[in-house]
Structure formats: structure tokens, C-alpha cells
Chain A
Amino acid sequence: MTARGLMVSLAMVLALAVAGSGMVRADALALGGSAPKATTKMKNVDGKKVSIADVAGQKGTLVIFTCNACPYVKAWQDRIVDLGNSYLSQGVGAIAINSNDPSIVEEDAYDVMKDRAAKAKMGFPYVVDSGSEVAMAFGATRTPEVFLFDAKGQLVYHGTIDDNHKEAEKVTKTYLKDALAAVVEGKAVPLAETKAMGCSIKFKKA
């Protein structure tokens, strides 16, 4: 077996070990639940430590599990950043979390995060979930995957951005935008749970 082949095999064994270890991914956070690991400090692209609680807004809080390498993230990136930035001024805090192990895909490394956040003009923190604990606690499985909490800190929306990752101009259902608007107005979110395909989160080994 070549050295690279050995590494691939080792990575698969470690992935299975995570599944069978004490680090167990929770079921996805249920609607009405509060953010787990909300006070866990994570390293932001500016070098400072920040938690979900630190960014909570008066009207709500948007938590986005994302990464650098995933093609779905790249396709949606402009829309994710636009929504996050535009709702900051309306009282919705936001945080983007990278829970991927960069030893699995190098593009998910911290230095690349800094570059991506700067180029995208991300107005909210983009942090490293270094042990994947926050993603595990949320029951997040993929990137991008969003969780939106209302002013009371209760989960009111979980799912995807919209119904067309590939072509923004062909979007017909603006799931996250509608949810954000509802949260700002203190109204019920029209569609609280949505799904889309995404890249599996590359969880860290225990």
C-alpha cells in the first residue's frame, strides 16, 4: 500500500472511530430548542475568540455551518453573506462556523477561511469549531446548513438558503430570507424546516 493509500485508509478508520466513540452526533436540534454550546468560544478569522452567545442579536441569531471547500457553499456564498450582512442592521446576529477537519480537506484550513471571509466581505464572525463539538451538539450534518433563533433564543428555522443553489436568478423560494424577515417582525416563520443537498461535515476524530 502506498503512503497516500495508507492515509486514505487511516482517515476512513478514524471517521468510523468518531462514529463509534464518545463523540456522538446529536439528532438535529428541534424547533423551539435553544442553541447548544452557545458559550463555547471559537477562533474567529480576526484571531479573537467568539461564541454564539456573543453575537446574539436583539431580534434573533443566525448560525450557519459552512466551510471553504464545498461546491454547494461556493454556489450559495454570495447569498449567504448578503443575507447575514443585511440582517445585522435589523437586529439579527450572525455567525458562520467551520466544523470541518482541515486534515481531511486542506482547503478548509484557517488561513483559507481568513481569505474567504475577506473576499466575501463577511460582516459577521467566521469561526473554527476546532473539535467539531458545536456541529455535533446541533446535530448538523452538512454544509451549508442554517439554524435561525428568534429573540427568545428559540429555534424557529432550520434548513437551507433557497431552492436553487446553482442559479440565483432562478430561485423561486427564498426560505432563509423569509424566515429572517419573519423573525425581525416577530412573526411565525412561514416554512420552518427545509432541506437541500450539501457536503457532509468532515467531523474531527475524538
Chain B
Amino acid sequence: MGRSGRENRGPRRWSGAATLAVALVAAGASSPPRPELRIATAGKLLEEIRRPGAQVVVVNVWATWCLPCREEFPDLVRLHRAYVSRGLRLVLVSADFDDGREEQVRRFLTVQGVDFPSFLKEGDDMEFIEALSPRWTGALPATLVYDSQGALRHFWEGAASYSNMEKNVLDVLERKSSPKEEGS
């Protein structure tokens, strides 16, 4: 038995979080913060990756309709919460392209509990892909892990487990791998 219908139907975790968010509002709790969205060309994104202050930068390119993206999203947010105090910067880049994408993306991020600035991909695909990593074929989701100097240390396509995400972040934080880019 397959998952019903289109790729853009959310997994259980999303709908559960949405229910909680609605319940909080109904109970009179203040609305969750709406994350700021910034337009990201390849150049702007590289600036964000290289911006000083982070010990490790995780870039995740995703879309609201992408099933594996949605499945791994809660783990990305969890990873950020666990390691932000150790210098993790999570750079979430939506590749959504529908009209009205800003609202779709903001709604999803809000439900996921993202309360820091996030990005909307803009510009030529090939230029964008090559700027992040020539090893990226273009398939979504894609995750790239950079060190504090902005050097790409790990890259993978497709959804990852929390333990794999954490392993690659720790690898950079603890400077165990060589400076050369490695696959994951």
C-alpha cells in the first residue's frame, strides 16, 4: 500500500506538529515566530556559508513538496538545536518554485519550529549546483557540510538519518577528518 497521492502530502510528523501549533493558537498561546526568508543566489549563499562565526555550516537544499526532504526535516531542526551552542549554522535553502512559494515555505518552517532566517533559491540551476558542489547531480534533497573556513567537508544526496547527520557534524567540529572534501 502506497502513500496516498502526491509527493506533497506530509508525513505524520509534520501533521502532528501542525496540530500542535493550531492547538497552541486556539489555547491563546502566542503564535510561533515566522522565520525570515531571504533570496539566495549562488553568490549570496556562498557569502552566508563563509560568514564568520560558525564552527560548522550545514546547508540543506529542500522543497515543501519533496517527500524525502520533509522526512528528514525534523532531524535537521533537532540537529540545529543540539549543536547551535557549539557553533552549528543551519542554512536551509528552499528550491520551491510555485507562485506563492514564500507562504508555503514560511508555513512549513513555522510548523517545523524554525525560528532563524532561511533562504529561497534564486537563479540559474546549473550555476547554483556547481557553486555548492560539482559532485551534486541536482537531486533533492542535498546536504553539504562546511567547516569554519568555508571548505566543503561532507556532501550527500537524499535523506539522511539523524545519526549520520550528527556524525558528519561532529567530524567537522572535532576536526577528525582531513581538510580535503570527503563523501559521506
Which A residues fall within an 8 A CB radius of B? 2, 4-5, 7-8, 11-12, 15-16, 28, 69-71, 75, 102-107, 109, 141-142, 145, 160, 163, 165-166, 194-202
Contact at B66–A104, with CB atoms within 8 Å?
Answer: no
Interface residues in B, total, Cβ within 8 A: 37
Cβ–Cβ < 8 Å partners of A199 in chain B: 7, 66, 139-140
Report the minimal beta-carbon distance from A35 to chain B, rounded to whole angstroms: 18
Report the minimal beta-carbon distance from A202 to chain B, rounded to whole angstroms: 8
Number of A-B contacts (CB under 8 A): 105
Report the minimal beta-carbon distance from B63 to chain A, rounded to whole angstroms: 8
Docked Cα-Cα span, A199 to B137, in Å, equals: 11
Interface of B is mostly: loop
Q: A141-B157, A196-B126, A197-B140 are in contact. Are A103 and B7 (CB under 8 A)?
A: no
Interface of A is mostly: loop
Cβ–Cβ < 8 Å partners of B6 in chain A: 69, 105, 107
Cβ–Cβ < 8 Å partners of B158 in chain A: 15, 200
Docked Cα-Cα span, A43 to B41, in Å, equals: 41
Report the minimal beta-carbon distance from A61 to chain B, rounded to whole angstroms: 21
Interface string of B86-115 (1 = CB under 8 A from A): 000000000101100000000000000000
Cβ–Cβ < 8 Å partners of A200 in chain B: 66, 68, 139-141, 157-158
- Residue in A70, A105, A163 whose beta carbon sits within 8 Å of that of B2 in the complex: A105
Contact at B3–A106, with CB atoms within 8 Å?
Answer: yes
Contact at A103–B2, with CB atoms within 8 Å?
Answer: yes
**Closest residue to A105 on the B side, CB-wise?**
B7
Contact at B130–A195, with CB atoms within 8 Å?
Answer: yes
- Residue in B2, B7, B126, B141 whose beta carbon sits within 8 Å of that of A195 in the complex: B126
Cβ–Cβ < 8 Å partners of A7 in chain B: 1, 3
Report the minimal beta-carbon distance from A146 to chain B, rounded to whole angstroms: 12
Closest 7 CB pairs of A and B: A142-B139, A106-B2, A196-B125, A200-B139, A141-B139, A141-B137, A5-B12
Question: Can you give 7 A-B contacts (C-beta < 8 A)?
Answer: A15-B159, A104-B67, A105-B2, A141-B138, A160-B126, A194-B126, A198-B138
Residues 115-144 of B contacting A (Cβ, < 8 Å): 124-126, 128-130, 136-141
**Closest residue to B126 on the A side, CB-wise?**
A195
Q: Is B171 an interface residue (CB 8 A)?
A: no
Contact at A195–B1, with CB atoms within 8 Å?
Answer: no
Report the minimal beta-carbon distance from A203 to chain B, rounded to whole angstroms: 9
- Residue in A105, A165, A195, A198 whose beta carbon sits within 8 Å of that of B67 in the complex: A105
Q: A12-B159, A200-B139 are in contact. Are A106 and B4 (CB under 8 A)?
A: yes
Q: Is B149 an interface residue (CB 8 A)?
A: no
